[in-house]
Amino acid sequence: MKAHKALIFELSRTGRIAHSLPVLDVPEVEALPKEYTREEAADLPEVSELDLMRHYTELSRRNHGVDNGFYPLGSCTMKYNPKVHEDVAKLSGLAKIHPYQAEETVQGALQLLFELQQDLAEITGMDGVTLQSAAGAQGEWTGLMMIKAYHQSRGEGLRNKVIVPDSAHGTNPASATVAGFETITIPSNEKGLVDVAALQEVLGEDTAALMLTNPNTLGLFEEEIVEIARLVHEAGGLLYYDGANANAILGIARPGDMGFDVVHLNLHKTFTTPHGGGGPGAGPVGVKKELVPFLPKPLAARREDGTYYLETNLPDSIGRVKGFYGNFGILVRAFAYIRTMGAVGLRQVSENAVLNANYMKARLKDYYDLPFAGVCKHEFVLSGNRQKKSGVRTLDIAKRLLDFGVHPPTIYFPLIVEECLMIEPTETESKETLDHFIDTMIQIAKEAEETPEIVQEAPHHTLVKRLDEVLAARKPKLRWIRN
Amino acid sequence: MKQRYLPMTEKDRTEMLATIGVDTVEDLFHEIPASVRFQGEMKIPAPMAESTLVRHMRQLASKNISTNTHASFLGAGVYDHHIPSVVGHVISRSEFYTAYTPYQPEISQGELQAIFEFQTMIAELTGMDVANSSMYDGPTALAEAANLASGVTKRKQILISRTVHPEAREILQTSSHGLGLEIIEIPYKDGITDISALEELVSSQTAAVIVQSPNFFGHLEDLTAMEKLAHRDKSLLVVSSNPNSLGMLKPPGQYGADIVVGDAQPLGISASFGGPHCGFFATTKALMRRIPGRIVGETVDEDGNRGFVLTLQAREQHIRRDKATSNICSNQALNALAASVYMSAMGKEGMQEVARQNFHKAHYARQELSKIDGVEVVFSTPFYNEFVVQLSKPIKEINHKLLSYGIIGGYDLGTSYPELADHMLLAVTEERTKEDIAALCQALEELLV
């Protein structure tokens, strides 16, 4: 393959088609008034069906997915996406149904939604679940809007501060802003955990919630979670669980039992629905019983006679957060996964994810700086500070990994670790894959010392070399324009 | 218990634990306080083998009526269009669907180029300068447009027509409580926004005027008049549009819209009980740096080869945190890809033809239905592929009876517009044949006697 790949517009030739429409079988009884009519056709491609398939097939070959190779992208849980999920999601009784069909014609779909709500409540230790949110960030925002409604219902609408640790995902403070809160960021302590004294200092009458990821983005379990929960609740605040890292705790420790009041899950992470190149995902939200009245509407419900329906009579609901009932096709896949794994299987998922991460950490800690010792959960962070001394940055290490067919870890996040590499192997990778990655990382560490230019100039074997991101941002070219 | 997705053997586990320096996997969880450890087994149904799972899922699916067996006249935001075979084949390539957001452009050029092409096609179709890589869905894209307008104009008031999809208005209502927006609804008249009411409402307080065209009733709004009123006091004009209709309708960009949003579901994405679909967000160069979500831009590599990267990231949550323009992180990339493949398959000519067929089928159907006793056509303004009729009997009852004719009837407008009880919103896409339309007429003739 060459570095250059034509755009589909550049393949276009006037007069070619890839569509097949029947001849219009009704008379034209009316014409569209001229003032509403498009004068010039949209400049869309004109290609044959084979041109089209070759184009997209070649694009797919220029893309790295989990099926291509290891993808240890921290906090993204890039585990294997089972193929049978794709098959069942395409069943016409699930894919070709309309959201406004009468209840009697979608009993299977409603049953699936109802059972998934229940399963996710059980998994998180919560009392009620909405499946509406389309993604983690939307789940965060949905949860925060419920927290807001909860405080307002108690005459405490002045609680306007959301506390996040400095290791939090960027979506946490961004969601807090969009939900109308102010963010207070607190520092982590020397162990990489919430600094309880710093937390105590900022807790008060204006505290709406503390948002925590547990295990946190360093892969560390917040050991003082019970005390943290007590302090937040004592101050009148609520505890929000960012479920990005839930792959570490399935059947081992439930957010509800840790004292969390609201939790979102990323079904595209923990419950292995495909990431799709950036989405669609799904971000269901679970809440404790005090917050159940505020769940978005509608909710799937079951009548005594065993039939299912959509409950819309929820007077205290925060309202609707997304069209229809959430990303149903994604929910179908997560449901299939939970049915495949069962309780025991889900627990094994977390045990293996944690085993894999600790194994990699143990084998890599002599070659890279390890900012936080002790056991990790499903992911861990390294620092490239040692390599930086020989002029090799973490970005270079990431680019060098590309030469070995591996997707690099998350880099430069969390922000509190210099030259950070955040590694999440997931449970679906074999020991040989882990060893190959580890050996590659060790080789890169050696190269950084002996032949740093090999790393600095990487990647050497990809279709394109490093791309000029500054140019892209300074002179934005966001679409193709015909010459 | 062995599990096909978990490759570790007992031998592997023993070796790995030895390397770590612990005796058991349980030792890796020692720091979790005992009081929060989960005891026992979660109450979840027992694991299913693949064959059992497939049977179970088929059983659930069989309890639903699909458009495979019934002719559907249901639209109301989700449409039954033909999806070319190539769409499913492309999006089933796991190089696409098992990848994540293209953070490493050197090994993600395929996805990045596909999104760049998507952005181009959406900009072309809507008549706008730029589009982003996609949003969760049409309604949430609309709420994001309101947020953007409020940010740009530093005003809090949003005027939204009652002819905008009821769910989009509900979502806007929910999200308004976050940023403290004031939402005012504009009434409608004869199936479209009441322009004189808009004229009275719009002022220097207004951040945005939000309309939908074709609107929820299928009718075409007077965007020329609205543009003048919206821009009179420097408010933004936000237009939500059905992209399928833009094959034949003058694009909102040509009317001077500032932001065009909508859902790409009618472009090759299955109904899937309402999601996942694919929101799109297109705007002008002036507002480019305020767009929510991911954007792909063209650049060059070290050797001068053309390549693509995620760009203008200074807007985004992972950089700006609480100062970001939006909290959105993921998008609907796989469905944006589906829409791109659809638009490539339909092409310049097919997009016009499919729109033309939708238009004519809907107009023919309305004419035929209007001949039936008990069916009343209510609005007289121009429409696209959806229209409203009043029936002499309750919609719910009629829809129930239509099922036995193999027909999924239209949307019961009384559920979201109390004044339109007994009114049905019917969508007629290119998938409905002349025979389907005749069968609907025949059934209604029998049922409305």
Q: How far apart are CA A226 and CA A34, in angstroms?
A: 69
Q: How far apart are CA B410 and CA B322, in angstroms?
A: 44
- Considering the domain architecture, whether residues A288 and A151 belong to the same structural domain is answered as yes
Residues A85-131 pLDDT 10s: 999 999 999 999 999 999 999 999 999 999 999 999 999 999 999 99
- Looking at B320-437, which runs of residues are DSSP E strands? 375-377, 386-391, 407-408, 411-412, 423-427
Which residue does chain A place closest to B403, by CA atoms? A105
In angstroms, what CA-CA distances link B214 with A282, B208, B224, B242? 29, 19, 14, 7
Nearest to B239 by CA among B373, B109, B146, B116: B146
Number of domains in chain A: 3
Q: How far apart are CA B425 and CA A388, in angstroms?
A: 65
| 3-class SS of residue A414 | coil
Burial profile B253-290: b = 16 or more Cβ within 10 angstroms, e = fewer: bbbbbbbbbbbbbbbbbbbbbbbbbbbbbbbbeebbeb
Q: How far apart are CA B289 and CA A475, in angstroms?
A: 12
Backbone angles phi, psi at A308, to 5 degrees: -115, 150
Among the partner residues A32, A280, A354, nearest to B334 by beta-carbon distance? A280
Strand partners, B230: none
Q: Is B270 on the interface with A (CB under 8 A)?
A: yes
Q: Do B31 and A257 touch (CB under 8 A)?
A: no
- Considering the domain architecture, whether residues A407 and A361 belong to the same structural domain is answered as yes
In angstroms, what CA-CA distances link B156 with A182, A457, B146, B152, B205? 18, 50, 9, 10, 7
In a domain, A128, yes or no: yes
Nearest to A143 by CA among A220, A241, A227, A290: A241
- Considering the domain architecture, whether residues A365 and A322 belong to the same structural domain is answered as no
* pLDDT given for residue B316 in this prediction: 82
End-to-end CA distance of chain A: 26
What the block records as the tokens of B53 is 């799972």
- Considering the domain architecture, whether residues A99 and A57 belong to the same structural domain is answered as no
How far B261 CA lies from chain A's nearest CA (Å)? 14
Which amino acid appears at position B353 of this protein?
E
Mean pLDDT score, A197-204: 98
Mean pLDDT score, A341-366: 98
Q: Do A339 and B246 touch (CB under 8 A)?
A: no
Single residue among A294, A316, A340 that ends a domain in this structure: A340
The bridge status of strand B259-263 relative to strand B279-283 is: antiparallel
| Residues of chain A positioned with their CB less than 8 A from the CB of B143 | none
End-to-end CA distance of chain B: 64
Do B307 and B301 form a contact (C-beta atoms < 8 A)? yes
Q: Give A225's contacts (C-beta < 8 A, 6+ positions apart).
A: A212, A214, A258, A259, B33, B36
In a domain, A449, yes or no: yes
What does B158-180 look like in DSSP terms, one character per residue?
Answer: EEEETTS-HHHHHHHHHHHHHHT
In a domain, A2, yes or no: no
- Considering the domain architecture, whether residues A304 and A385 belong to the same structural domain is answered as no
Q: Do B305 and A465 touch (CB under 8 A)?
A: yes
Residue A82, pLDDT > 80, answer yes
How far A308 CA lies from chain B's nearest CA (Å)? 11
Q: How far apart are CA A427 and CA A376, in angstroms?
A: 14
* pLDDT given for residue B53 in this prediction: 98
Cβ atoms within 10 Å, residue A148: 23
Q: Is A275 on the interface with B (CB under 8 A)?
A: yes
Vertex B342, ends B340 and B343: CA angle to 5°?
65
- Looking up tokens 């963010």 gives A183
- Considering the domain architecture, whether residues A459 and A388 belong to the same structural domain is answered as yes
- Looking up tokens 């007992």 gives B10
Residue A309, pLDDT > 80, answer yes
Q: How far apart are CA A482 and CA B123, in angstroms?
A: 13
| Residues of chain A positioned with their CB less than 8 A from the CB of B224 | 35
Among the partner residues B16, B53, B263, nearest to A336 by beta-carbon distance? B53
Q: Is B396 on the interface with A (CB under 8 A)?
A: yes
* pLDDT given for residue A245 in this prediction: 97
Q: How far apart are CA B57 and CA B50, in angstroms?
A: 10
- Considering the domain architecture, whether residues A378 and A327 belong to the same structural domain is answered as no
Q: Do B104 and A408 touch (CB under 8 A)?
A: yes
* pLDDT given for residue A40 in this prediction: 96
| Bond preceding residue B33 cis, omega within 30 of 0 | no
Cβ atoms within 10 Å, residue B200: 10
In a domain, A260, yes or no: yes
pTM: 0.98
Among the partner residues A89, A97, A338, nearest to B66 by beta-carbon distance? A97
- Looking up tokens 């939200």 gives A285
Fold of B85-341: Aspartate Aminotransferase; domain 2 (3.40.640)
What the block records as the tokens of B412 is 């019961």
Single residue among A340, A361, A378 that ends a domain in this structure: A340
Residues in chain A, total: 483
Nearest to A202 by CA among A165, A242, A176: A165
Domain limits of chain B? 71-82+347-447, 85-341
Q: What is the ipTM of this complex?
A: 0.98
Burial of A374 (0-12, 13-18, 19+ CB in 10 A): middle
Among the partner residues B35, B96, B347, nearest to A19 by beta-carbon distance? B347
Tell me the residues of chain A between 296 and 355 that have a Cβ less than 8 Å away from chain B: 296, 318-330, 332, 336, 338-349, 351-352, 354-355
Q: Helices B10-20 and A431-450: crossing angle, nearest 10°?
A: 40
Among the partner residues A82, A346, A359, nearest to B16 by beta-carbon distance? A359
Reading phi first (left if > 0) and then psi (alpha if -120 to 50, else beta), residue B274 is in left
What the block records as the tokens of A140 is 């965060």
Cβ atoms within 10 Å, residue B10: 7
Q: How far apart are CA A79 and CA B100, in angstroms?
A: 11
Among the partner residues B72, B94, B130, nearest to A65 by beta-carbon distance? B94
Domain limits for position A27? 8-61
Residues A8-39 pLDDT 10s: 999 999 999 999 999 999 999 999 999 999 99
Q: How far apart are CA B101 and CA A269, in angstroms?
A: 13
Nearest to B337 by CA among A274, A212, A20: A274
- Type and span of the H or E element at B223: helix B223-232
* pLDDT given for residue B449 in this prediction: 87
Which amino acid appears at position B84 of this protein?
P
What the block records as the tokens of B367 is 């004419």
How far A449 CA lies from chain B's nearest CA (Å)? 24
Superfamily of domain B71-82+347-447: Aspartate Aminotransferase, domain 1 (3.90.1150.10)
Q: Is A456 on the interface with B (CB under 8 A)?
A: no
Among the partner residues B67, B130, B333, nearest to A96 by beta-carbon distance? B67
Q: Helices A171-178 and A136-153: crossing angle, nearest 10°?
A: 50
Do B329 and B152 form a contact (C-beta atoms < 8 A)? no
Q: Is B284 on the interface with A (CB under 8 A)?
A: no
In a domain, A70, yes or no: no
Q: Is B53 on the interface with A (CB under 8 A)?
A: yes
- Type and span of the H or E element at A184: strand A182-186
Taking CB atoms and an 8 Å cut-off, how many pairs form between chains A and B? Answer: 696
Q: Give B282's contacts (C-beta < 8 A, 6+ positions apart).
A: B122, B123, B126, B128, B129, B130, B131, B132, B253, B259, B260, B261
- Considering the domain architecture, whether residues A32 and A102 belong to the same structural domain is answered as no
Residue A218, pLDDT > 80, answer yes
What does A314-363 look like in DSSP terms, one character per residue?
Answer: -TT-----SSTTS-HHHHHHHHHHHHHHHHHHHHHHHHHHHHHHHHHHHH
How far A389 CA lies from chain B's nearest CA (Å)? 24
Q: Do A352 and B332 touch (CB under 8 A)?
A: no
- Looking up tokens 């034509």 gives A6
In a domain, A77, yes or no: no
Which residue does chain B place closest to A461, by CA atoms? B106
Q: Which residues of chain B have pLDDT under 70?
A: none
| Residues of chain A positioned with their CB less than 8 A from the CB of B68 | 92, 96
Single residue among A340, A374, A406 that ends a domain in this structure: A340
Cβ atoms within 10 Å, residue B381: 16
Residues B147-202 pLDDT 10s: 999 999 999 999 999 999 999 999 999 999 999 999 999 999 999 999 999 999 99
Residue in A44, A106, A275 to test binding to B, most B beta-carbons within 10 Å? A44
Q: In the predicted model, what is the mean pLDDT of chain A?
A: 97
Do B407 and B219 form a contact (C-beta atoms < 8 A)? no
Residue spans of alpha helices (H) in A125-261: 136-153, 171-178, 196-202, 225-234, 255-258
In a domain, A295, yes or no: yes
Reading phi first (left if > 0) and then psi (alpha if -120 to 50, else beta), residue A335 is in alpha
Mean pLDDT score, A427-452: 98
Q: How far apart are CA A5 and CA B10, in angstroms?
A: 47
Q: How far apart are CA B416 and CA A28, in angstroms?
A: 32
- Looking up tokens 């409608």 gives B188
| 3-class SS of residue B308 | strand
- Considering the domain architecture, whether residues A25 and A157 belong to the same structural domain is answered as no
Q: Give A435's contacts (C-beta < 8 A, 6+ positions apart).
A: none
Nearest to B71 by CA among B446, B447, B441: B441
In a domain, A74, yes or no: no
In angstroms, what CA-CA distances link B342 with B243, B266, B270, B387, B417? 12, 9, 12, 25, 34
- Considering the domain architecture, whether residues A122 and A261 belong to the same structural domain is answered as yes
